[in-house]
Amino acid sequence: MVEDERTLADDIAEGLRDGGLAVDVAYDGPSAASRIVSGLYDVLVLDRDLPGIHGDHLCELAGTLERPPLVLMLTAAAAPGDRVAGLQRGADDYLGKPFHFPELVLRVRALGRRRPGARPRVMRVGDVELDDALHVVRRGGRLVDVSPTEYRLLAALMRAHPAPLSAERLMDEVWDEALDPFSKAVAVTMGRLRRKLGPPDAVRTLPAVGYVLAAPR
């Protein structure tokens, strides 16, 4: 998420996280550029009028990557000519401000599904199922009521399966970068997720390694 109005950027990021998405935020062009070239992102939500480096140039930069993120321009410049210019710069979608927040979430999810190599909409490990289209978790057909953070945690474990993920890697994927590296948030959230999924334990703890979803029997 790249937006120079900090309050707006933080509000949008919080709403996207509540929708089960992992979000990093940049408030200016140069800091956004350094994140974009990391190649870590599936979708880039991008304002156009940014300090330092214009959003149009960031969009072009993203398009040069080996695995470019799909770009949604989210901007007050919403006239038809502005939309055409943004799409010509390489944007995959364009949404003007003000906007309806549920529409933004749906557009971001749709772009994520379009990205080459995107994960399937329904992921399963054993009897645990995560439906990314409906944003629900089931175990053995039973609906499991999870929080947005628990959802992202389970999704990260499912994407990695059968490989384990360290607590540090989970911090990077599930929480924003402001999380205290000494926080016990991963262990606490993992405990809540395990209790909600119920027995038998769906997540194994590997000492000095991390966490992995239990292999189906």
Sorted by where each starts, the structural domains of the chain and their CATH numbers stand as 6-114 (3.40.50.2300), 122-213 (1.10.10.10)
Per-residue pLDDT tens over the stretch 145-177: 999 889 989 988 988 888 899 988 888 888 765
pLDDT at residue 195, rounded to an integer: 95
Burial string for 102-117 (b: 16+ CB within 10 Å, else e) reads: eebbebbbebbeebee
Specify whether the CB–CB gap between 17 and 151 falls below 8 A.
no
Mean of pLDDT over the chain: 87
User: What are the start-end ranges of the H helices in 19-147?
Assistant: 29-36, 55-63, 80-88, 101-114
Distance, CA of 160 to CA of 121 (rounded, Å): 15
Specify whether the CB–CB gap between 211 and 204 falls below 8 A.
yes
pLDDT at residue 180, rounded to an integer: 64
Distance, CA of 25 to CA of 21 (rounded, Å): 13
Positions in the chain short of pLDDT 70:
116-120, 133, 176-182, 215-217
